[in-house]
Amino acid sequence: MLDNSVEVIMENNKKMLDTASSPLAPQLAACGQPEVVLDLAVLMSLPGVSQRRDAPVLKRLLGIFVVETSRSVGLLQAALEHGDREQVGRLAHRMKSSALAIGALHLGTEARRLDSSLKAGSPLDPADGGIIAAAWRDARQALLDEGLLGADELRSIEASIGS
């Protein structure tokens, strides 16, 4: 039951954010300000979280986000190395949606930039893999810094990826 609820919440937020972006991100970028790495307002306002850091659905959402994003970043880097434009496009699009739905704005913005670039016909740039990976490292660190995930918890989640 909880797994289904989490999936519904993430899907609803992905649909909403596929067509809309955080109003803060473009304004900060236009002013030369660094991107917001993690927008807690987005994360805490998710249905089922309701501003509660101890909400069970929050831990479940973050677990799914970490697993899926870690996998996607690795797959994206490999697809860029192999010149697999279609795979890069799918991964960037999916990563954009999930990152923005969770409030990982910088990661979502970089994934959106890559997605838009590919849709505009730009050639693949292997450097994009490093940019996305760095934005993912920043998002992971923000989750740790905010105490939303502990270091042991994050290691445990990431260890399950290889299983």
Q: Which helix (H) or strand (E) holds 119?
A: helix 105-119
Smallest CA-to-CA distance from 73 within 105, 99, 38, 40 is with: 99
pLDDT at 160: 86
Band of residue 14 on the pLDDT scale cut at 50, 70, 90: very low
Per DSSP, the residues of 57-113 read: HHHHHHHHHHHHHHHHHHHHHHHHHHT-HHHHHHHHHHHHHHHHHHT-HHHHHHHHH
pLDDT (average), residues 102-108: 96
Beta carbons within 8 Å of 16's beta carbon, 6+ residues apart: 101
Q: Which two tokens stand for residue 15?
A: 């649909």
Kindly state the percentage of the chain with pLDDT values over 90: 74
Helix, strand and coil in the chain, % to nearest 5: 75, 0, 25
Mean pLDDT of the chain: 85
pLDDT tens-place string over residues 15-49 = 444 333 444 444 444 445 457 999 999 999 999 99
Of 99-103, 107-111, 152-156, the least confident: 152-156
pLDDT tens-place string over residues 61-79 = 999 999 999 999 999 999 9
Band of residue 11 on the pLDDT scale cut at 50, 70, 90: low
2-162 to CATH, choices 3.30.70, 1.10.3470, 1.20.120, 1.10.490: 1.20.120
Band of residue 118 on the pLDDT scale cut at 50, 70, 90: very high
Can you give the residue ranges of every domain in the chain?
2-162
